[in-house]
Amino acid sequence: MRKRVIPLLAMFLMLALMPVNVAAHTADEPFVTDLIADGGDEAVDVGDIRVWNDGAYLYVEYVMDGGWTILKTHLHVADSLGGIRQTGSGNPIPGLFEYYSTELFDDGVTEKLYEIPLGWDYGKEIYIAAHAIVVSTSEKMTIWDFSEPGVAAFGPAGLYYGLDDPLWGSSNPAVATWVYPDWPSIPDATWISTAYYVEDPVSDSWRKFHKEIDLPEKGCYLTGSVVLATSDNAEEIYFNGELVGSDGEVQGTFIGNHEWETVIEYPVIPVPGTNSMDFIVRNYAQAGGSTISNPTGLIYSAYFDCYRMETAWGDGFEFDGKNWATYVAYTIQEPYKFWNLPDDPAGIKIYAHPGTSNTYFDMLLWDVGPGFDISDGVWPAWCVDSDIYIYYRDYTATVYSSYDPNLPPWASDEEWDYINYILNHKHSEAAMMDIQQAIWYFADDEYPMPTDPEAVAMVNDALANGDGFKPVAGQIGAVILAIGDDVQLIFIEVDP
């Protein structure tokens, strides 16, 4: 396919004077804009917003770049900017958008498609606010917390008290306690208690430990959070006031089966900001026990995985408010129609040359079969190869759409977008050969620029406006009749 070059001034004039063709968008060729996170000077392109429509639906799709996943989406579509929910100062309100989704981080969702019933006329400009909360799976910070001296400690108490029972009294800083040789260890964590040696090894005693953990309030998605803990003898663990789990008999009659030997994993659900972690630890009574034979203590570590989390918007025009939120303008496209063509070859032959409707040929087709967008009969047709002949006899031809990605090699180098543009923008004063020469210019690499003014004008029109052109309903398009590489390639005009 040859590269088309025309003088810069001539191109400028054509672009200024001629209407610009807007090709219909499809799932394969959508309108695309970036999905921008963390707007302002630190803006990051995290994916795309893809938009297209057919005759029944508008499609808006979020597609993430590698390393990013979707946590939430909010989408609103309106036929005026005022139709998008906003504050009085002009900032959009995603929580009031019509369409929304919440995804699980562990699912790793990287695409989200909305299908919205088409309620707008073709050519109508609409406004799309596409908002998302996105998470970077490659940018993780782990926040750790360990048992250590200084943790708030309450007790010892001779009875079990609930978490918020005021009978616990006031707290004192925990201290590093005497470590029984068989107790397990946790890296970087210290066995702690209310005293170095247990105060009363003979009787049941209870202690409460409280720790507050500050986690990032913004820009962080918290997940994968676990508390590793054990105690001598039994513990209940609370996170943000909720019981997470227990090991051993913190309340009631105890069994005493050495629960302290095993470190337990307790999954927790943290929130941005301050989180509380509480342990109620029971030391079982031991008749005749000593500070060495019946010690007590708590050891734990907690980690909180924090992934980078950002707000993102489909890139476009800024709202009137002071934040950086943006919206996308999209024009509802009249969709392409894809021809329903026969798989089996059809019979063809030249019916007339020149054609009766200012075309190069009239071609007769037969054996097409019922139910297709072409049928038996006479069709207006054009020549593709300027230097290969076709004779007045019967042929068998395979039928292709000019947009078929699997065209035979001798039909795939032609610039069919420009040719289809010419078919739909024939100049009213152009003779049949003006149109044919303009077609040859884009179909045949060896064919020179025409010299006739009408042909030149159509070539320049196509150069300015025909790139990517595809016909829509109400326009005509080229359907190829391929006989073989040694016979003239023909196409007929078909209404999509």
Bridge partners, residue 134, by sequence = 70, 310
SS3 content of the chain, % helix, strand, coil (to 5): 10, 40, 45
165 alpha-carbon distance from chain centroid = 49
Q: Give the whole-angstrom CA distance, residue 13 versus residue 25.
A: 27
Do residues 212 and 72 both lie within one domain?
A: no
Residue 339 lies in a domain: no
CB 149 within 8 A of CB 172: no
The answer to whether the predicted template modeling score (pTM) of the entire model surpasses 0.85 is no
227 and 319 within one domain: no
**Integer angstrom CA distances of residue 16 from 11, 19, 379:** 9, 8, 36
DSSP classification of residue 187: T
State whether 299 and 316 are in the same domain: no
Beta strands in 147-176 (DSSP E): 152-157, 172-173, 175-176
DSSP per position, 238-305: EETTEEEEEES-SSSS-----GGGSPEEEE----SEEEEEEEEEEE---TT--TTTS--EEEEEEEEE
In a domain, 3, yes or no: no
Q: Please choose, from the candidates 285, 302, 303, the residue with its C-alpha nearest in 3D space to the C-alpha of residue 294.
A: 285
Residue 58 lies in a domain: yes
Residue 337 lies in a domain: no
Residue 61 confidence (pLDDT):
98
Quick one: 153 and 285 in the same domain? yes
Indicate whether 489 belongs to any domain.
Answer: yes
> What is the DSSP secondary structure assignment for residue 411, as one 8-state letter?
G
Q: Which residue in the block uniquely carries the two structure tokens 């072409």?
A: 374
Please check whether residue 336 lies inside any domain of the structure: no
Are residues 490 and 481 in contact, defined by beta-carbon separation less than 8 angstroms? yes
Give how far Cα 343 sits from Cα of 173, 339, 368, 373, 409, Å: 84, 12, 9, 12, 18
Q: What is the pLDDT of residue 23?
A: 57
Selection from 297, 50, 286 nearest residue 184 by Cα? 297
Look at the block and give the residue holding tokens 């369409």.
99
> Which residue type is seen at 432?
M
Structural domain boundaries enclosing 119: 8-135+310-331
Reading the block at residue 252, the tokens are: 């009631």
Residues 75, 18 share a domain? yes
pLDDT score, position 491: 96
Residue 257 shares a structural domain with residue 279: yes
Q: How far is CA 119 from the centre of its chain?
A: 24
Q: Is residue 341 part of a domain?
A: no
**Bond prior to 233 in cis (omega within 30° of 0):** yes
Looking at the structure, tell me whether residues 202 and 93 fall in a common domain.
no
pLDDT for 246 equals 93
Judge whether 292 lies within some domain.
Answer: yes
Burial 62-99 (b: 16+ CB within 10 A, else e): bbbeeebbbbbbbbbbeeebeebbbeeeeebebeebee
393 lies in the same domain as 483 = yes
Whether residue 188 is found in the same domain as residue 57: no
What pLDDT is stored for residue 446 in this prediction? Answer: 81
Side-chain half-sphere of 216: how many Cα atoms within 13 Å?
Answer: 17
Same domain, 225 and 251: yes
Tally of domains in the chain: 3
Averages of pLDDT over runs of 10 residues in the chain (496 residues) are 39 35 74 88 90 92 96 96 94 96 90 95 94 94 95 96 96 97 95 96 96 93 87 94 94 86 91 95 93 94 93 94 91 83 95 95 96 95 91 95 86 89 94 95 88 95 91 87 92 88
Judge if 22 and 116 occupy the same domain: yes
Q: How many other CB atoms are there within 10 angstroms of residue 176's CB atom?
A: 14
CATH number where 303 lies: 2.60.120
How far apart, in Å, are the Cα atoms of 71 and each of 218, 269, 483? 15, 16, 54
Query: Is residue 146 located within the same domain as residue 109?
Result: no
Tell me what pLDDT residue 25 has: 84
